[in-house]
Amino acid sequence: MLPAEAVSQINNTLEKYPDSRSALLPALYIAQRHVGHLPLDALHAVATLLDLPDAHVRGVASFHVMFRDSPGGRHLVQLCTNVSCMLAASSGLLDVLKEHFGLRPGATSPDNRFTLLEGECIGECEKVPAMLVDSDVHTGLTAESIIEILARYE
């Protein structure tokens, strides 16, 4: 089930497209924003709203790293380890996150605060290493600053 507000937001995006199927990515974003992740019943609700088969909607959701099928932590941390960030020793920051927050790539911290993903390039290659926390970009990270930044996310 989706909250009424999510349903009306999804209906509003329909006017941008010549058919309802094209509104699938925005609809999944809206559903995830309201529910926190995309459980099967949310996917079913989106499928019904857009008049699409459930299997199609599940296939598209699972294709993308931005859509999550399990709740995870309250904040999603994507630390870039691709080449430009690699050169700035971003892998060392993975060790810092493990020591300080008990965070491992692909897992959620014991206090349920963070889920960590080892990310691909986020296009911030001139201020490395870089990470995304939810929608916020943080760059030029050091072992000290990454701890200080994450401390701000409850």
Q: Which stretch binds another protein (CB under 8 A): 35-43, 69-77, 86-94, 102-110?
A: 86-94
- Contact between residue 124 and residue 137 where contact means Cβ atoms under 8 Å apart: yes
- Contact between residue 23 and residue 50 where contact means Cβ atoms under 8 Å apart: yes
Q: Does 140 bind another protein (CB under 8 A)?
A: no
Q: Report the alpha-carbon distance of residue 120 to residue 153 in Å, rounded.
A: 22
Q: Which of residues 88-117 bind another protein (CB under 8 A)?
A: 91
CB-nearer residue toward another protein: 23 or 110:
23
Q: Which has the closest alpha carbon to 149: 111, 106, 96, 112? A: 96
* Residues binding another protein (CB under 8 A): 16, 18-19, 21-26, 28-29, 50, 52, 56, 59-60, 63-67, 81-84, 86-87, 91, 120-128, 132, 135, 137
